[in-house]
């Protein structure tokens, strides 16, 4: 009977950890703490110097690989390629050359800080070279900020596709340390890399097509989410067995499914979201159990120095070199360089030297652990301030508007949302304009369902339903706010001043005393929106200009015909002084 009691103890412990993780997620969201650190802390508490539980590195590696496959599939599933096509090339360059550059720069710092030989320093650099998909996806979704499509796309695609390069470099240097450089030729390893990338991309695309076909054609009685999840794991494992990169394959499979209309997509994404949360938690929990806190202290100061060199030198320099040909703004390059979060992938790769029993294997693991924790604390906690500092995003305004979200089976292009129209909702005013991408679906009025052409203009008491692209719905919220809340929301969203879209930026900057680069002066606001958003401008799109932000207030034919101006705090003083000068001049003219 002892084994029964032991089983119950384990089950109770696992359930309690999951419940604590769920509770901690609420605290993490409220205070901005990176949730993944909570699981690392739980793991360290359960580990050798806590409750004394141990986990074999091989088991941690196997479970970590499974968890990463789930996380990468989810990342691909939620990435929409159509709006970010211009981000694909820079993302892939960052995922290959950027990883190699980061590894090299970090290796130089490791050589100076730890006195490691060149090959061992390169191994440590490779372990820490890639950004972590779990950390990047999680923090970008929970940050509550809106990034430009190109910047957001680069961060997501890069973090989802840079693991194969990091795995290749880690395996290369591990093989050289274990067998010698003569036994493992660089040419053979490079050809192996090309085979892994080629097979990974091809098999991932085939696997994604098969998963999408199965979801659309099979009657599964609610088992569609399990088909997608099992299919993703099968793609990962089969690709590895055939000599390809399973990490790349499962991400490409998610991308392939994500670009196609599939049945039960709401259920699939809901279950996948829960599975990804669980995978992240389990992976960080196990990696935390591998850590020995007392051993970390012996390498703490040089490891913190390595983390600082990676965050302040290695990553930013690699990003600047890789993005230089793609005409990113300096602020965007700076932000992308900062959001290079390290996570479980670094600790996961650091377990390879442990498995192979290489010299200094514990050093690699301990240093990777410290670097990951430092990255999550520093970069994870400063994501919002960095976005404001680099002026690439503004926080979303959460309104008190009640939004009804409904499942729309078989669609990825739109989601169905409904709003109650209150007596003083902004949508009832004459100046209110629905965004062009919001398609009226139906109106519920006095317990009758009306089509848009039957309903006519909205009335107080209606419930209006719209089809809207995923990720754009929040831009409808202010229209259904009421009274003063609606005015404040409108002013916050669009500013208190409106101008036509064809206003020259030079005149605008001179009128409001805004410092702008001379090359902007010859363009109109509408042209700037066209260039920034690739002729796909929507109501609410924003562009930073000097000490202000331009907002697309009205859009016709994907072109901004009216813009609003939101002034930053440092510009309000100049504006107020200008208004006072205008008032005094007007008074002097009217004085008899």
Q: Which residues of 576-592 are buried (b: 16+ CB within 10 A; e: fewer)?
A: eeeeeeeeeeeeeeeee
Residues 6+ apart with CB under 8 A from 202: 244
One digit per residue, the tens of pLDDT, for the chain of length 592 reads 566 666 766 667 667 666 666 665 555 555 444 566 677 777 778 777 777 777 777 777 788 788 888 888 887 887 777 656 777 889 889 988 999 999 999 999 999 999 889 888 999 999 998 887 666 766 666 666 667 778 888 887 888 778 778 888 888 888 888 776 555 566 666 677 778 788 888 999 999 999 988 888 887 777 888 899 999 999 999 998 988 888 889 988 988 888 777 777 777 877 887 888 788 778 778 777 877 777 777 788 999 999 999 999 999 999 999 999 888 888 889 999 998 888 777 777 887 888 788 888 888 888 988 898 888 888 878 887 888 888 886 544 444 445 555 555 544 466 777 888 888 787 787 666 777 678 888 898 888 888 888 888 888 888 888 887 755 666 677 677 765 555 555 555 566 667 788 888 887 777 767 777 777 777 888 888 887 776 777 777 777 776 677 888 777 777 888 887 776 544 444 544 455 455 555 555 555 5
Taking the C-alpha atoms of residue 47 and residue 31, their distance in angstroms, rounded to an integer, is 27
Q: Please answer whether residues 282 and 67 qualify as being in contact, where contact means their C-beta atoms are separated by less than 8 angstroms.
A: yes
**Tokens 């670097």 correspond to what residue?**
371
The torsion angles phi and psi of 525, rounded to 5 degrees, stand at: -60, -40
Can you state the angle between helices 315-323 and 330-338, rounded to 10 degrees?
Answer: 140
| Distance from chain centroid for Cα 123 | 27
DSSP H or E run through 403: strand 403-406
Q: Give the whole-angstrom CA distance, residue 358 versus residue 134.
A: 27
Q: Which of 341, 348, 344 is nearest to 375 (CA)?
A: 341
Q: In this structure, what are the phi and psi dihedrals at residue 278, rounded to the nearest 5 degrees?
A: -65, -40
Environment class of residue 319 by beta-carbon count within 10 Å: exposed (0-12), middle (13-18) or buried (19+)?
Answer: buried
Tokens in use for 422?
A: 């209150």
The CA distance from 130 to 165, in Å, is 8
3-state secondary structure of 537: coil
Rounded Cα distance between 522 and 520, Å, is 6
- Going by their DSSP bridges, the two strands 497-500 and 559-567 should be labelled as antiparallel
How far, in Å, CA of 464 to CA of 399, rounded? 17
Query: How far is Cα 81 from Cα 64, in angstroms, rounded to an integer?
Result: 27
Residue 423 main-chain phi, psi, to 5 deg: -55, -35
Could you tell me the pTM of the whole model?
Answer: 0.65
Look at the block and give the residue holding tokens 């498995």. 355
The owner of tokens 């739980």 is 42
Q: Which domains does the chain have, with CATH numbers?
A: 32-51+58-390 (1.20.1530.20), 403-491 (3.30.70.1450), 495-590 (3.30.465.10)
């Amino acid at each position: 009977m002892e084994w029964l009691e032991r089983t119950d103890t384990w089950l109770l412990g696992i359930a309690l950890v999951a419940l604590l993780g769920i509770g901690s997620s609420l605290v993490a969201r409220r205070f901005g703490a990176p949730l993944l650190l909570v699981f690392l802390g739980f793991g360290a508490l359960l580990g050798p110097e806590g409750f004394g539980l141990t986990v074999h590195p091989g088991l941690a590696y196997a479970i970590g690989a499974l968890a990463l496959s789930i996380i990468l599939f989810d990342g691909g599933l939620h990435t929409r390629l159509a709006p970010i096509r211009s981000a694909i090339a820079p993302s892939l360059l960052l995922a290959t050359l950027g990883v190699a550059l980061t590894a090299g720069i970090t290796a130089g710092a490791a050589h100076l800080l730890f006195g490691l030989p060149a090959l061992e320093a390169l191994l440590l650099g490779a372990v820490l070279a890639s950004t972590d998909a779990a950390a990047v996806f999680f923090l970008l979704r929970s940050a509550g900020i809106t990034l430009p499509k190109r910047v957001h796309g680069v961060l997501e695609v890069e973090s989802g596709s840079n693991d194969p390069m990091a795995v290749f470099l880690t395996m290369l240097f591990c093989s050289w340390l274990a067998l010698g450089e003569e036994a493992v030729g660089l040419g053979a390893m490079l050809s192996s890399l090309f085979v892994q990338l080629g097979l990974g991309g091809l098999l991932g695309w085939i696997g994604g097509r098969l998963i999408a076909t199965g979801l659309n054609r099979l009657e599964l009685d609610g088992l569609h989410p399990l088909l997608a999840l099992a299919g993703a794991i099968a793609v990962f494992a089969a690709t590895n067995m055939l000599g390809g990169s399973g990490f790349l394959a499962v991400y490409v499979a998610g991308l392939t499914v994500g670009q196609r209309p599939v049945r039960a997509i709401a259920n699939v994404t809901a279950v996948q979201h829960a599975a990804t949360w669980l995978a992240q938690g389990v992976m960080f929990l196990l990696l935390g159990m591998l850590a020995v806190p007392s051993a970390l202290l012996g390498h703490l100061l040089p490891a913190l120095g390595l983390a600082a060199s990676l965050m302040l030198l290695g990553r930013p320099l690699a990003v600047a070199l890789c993005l230089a040909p793609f005409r990113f703004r300096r602020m965007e390059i700076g932000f992308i360089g900062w959001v290079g979060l390290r996570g479980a992938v670094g600790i996961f790769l650091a377990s390879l030297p442990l498995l192979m029993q290489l010299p200094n294997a514990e050093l690699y693991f301990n240093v990777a652990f410290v670097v990951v924790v430092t990255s999550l604390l520093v970069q994870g906690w400063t994501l919002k301030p960095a976005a404001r500092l680099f002026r690439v995003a503004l926080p979303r305004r959460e309104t008190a508007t009640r939004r009804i979200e409904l499942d729309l089976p078989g669609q990825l292009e739109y989601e169905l949302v409904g709003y109650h129209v209150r007596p003083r909702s902004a949508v009832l005013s004459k100046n209110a304009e629905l965004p062009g991408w919001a398609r009226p679906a139906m109106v519920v009025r006095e317990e009758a369902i009306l089509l848009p052409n039957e309903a006519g203009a909205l009335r107080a008491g209606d419930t209006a339903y719209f089809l809207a692209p995923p990720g754009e719905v929040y831009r409808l919220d202010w229209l259904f706010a009421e009274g003063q809340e609606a005015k404040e929301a409108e002013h916050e969203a669009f500013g208190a001043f409106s101008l036509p879209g064809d206003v020259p930026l030079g005149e605008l900057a001179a009128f409001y005393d805004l410092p702008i680069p001379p090359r902007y002066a010859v363009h109109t606001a509408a042209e700037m929106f066209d260039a920034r958003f690739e002729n796909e401008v929507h109501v609410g799109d924003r562009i930073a200009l000097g000490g202000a932000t331009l907002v697309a207030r009205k859009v016709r034919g994907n072109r901004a015909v009216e813009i609003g101006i939101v002034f930053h705090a440092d510009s309000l003083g100049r504006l107020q002084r200008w208004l006072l000068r205008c008032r005094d001049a007007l008074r002097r003219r009217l004085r008899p």
